[in-house]
Amino acid sequence: METDDQMRAGDGLWAIGDITGKGAFTHVSMYQADVAVRGILDREGPGADYRAVPRVTFTDPEIGSVGITEQQAREAGLLTVRIGVAQIPSSSRGWIHKVGNEGLIKLVEDADRGVLVVGATSVGPTGGEVLSALTVAVHAQVPTASLRSMIYAYPTFHRAIEDALKDLH
């Protein structure tokens, strides 16, 4: 069902959830409900923005992604895409974790703009949790230079983001 950015589907009708076709995830429905309530109550606030919808599959290892993939970026005509990959077992926390530390972090950067507006993937023991930092980066269009210069807690799986940033090529 088509909706506007306030989740209106028509006069006096709002729609949220799977029916909107914006992602069959509970967290998308919860997000849309917040937007719809503001619209219903005529309160100020941003409209729905789907540029950085996190997707997580809670398998072992967890698999999470945000934005679009490298292949989708190239198909969309983004020719200046840079990729950075870090292997979780090579990270400090991956080494400490030992058994069950399989996974990776993959960043897809728009090299012209120097931002991760394209997307990212996190696979690993806490792939869904690590994805939250990557979702913020994609949603807020955080420059990769800023991501490189921040402090990452040690030892965490998040530190592999730093390694993936070093691998951007």
Please choose, from the candidates 111, 93, 72, 98, the residue with its C-alpha nearest in 3D space to the C-alpha of residue 156.
93
* Distance (Å) of CA 119 to CA 23, 68, 90: 16, 5, 22
pLDDT in tens, 117-147: 789 999 999 889 999 999 999 999 999 999 9
Instruction: Output Rg (C-alpha) for the chain, integer angstroms.
Output: 18
Phi, psi of 107 (to 5 degrees): -110, 140
Domains and CATH numbers, the chain: 1-49 (no CATH), 55-166 (3.30.390.30)
Could you tell me the pLDDT band of residue 99, with boundaries at 50, 70 and 90? confident
Local structure of residue 41 (DSSP, 8 states)? T
pLDDT, one tens digit per residue, over 142-163 is 999 999 999 988 998 889 999 9
In the predicted structure, residue 43 carries a pLDDT above the cut 90: yes
Cα–Cα distances (Å) from 130 to 45, 77, 94, 150, in that order, read 28, 28, 13, 15
Write the pLDDT tens digit of every residue in 49-93: 998 999 999 999 999 999 988 888 889 887 789 999 999 988 888
CB 86 within 8 Å of CB 158 = no
Provide the CA 85 distance to its chain's centre, in angstroms: 15
Q: Is the pLDDT of residue 102 over 80?
A: yes
Contact 148, 88 (CB under 8 A): no
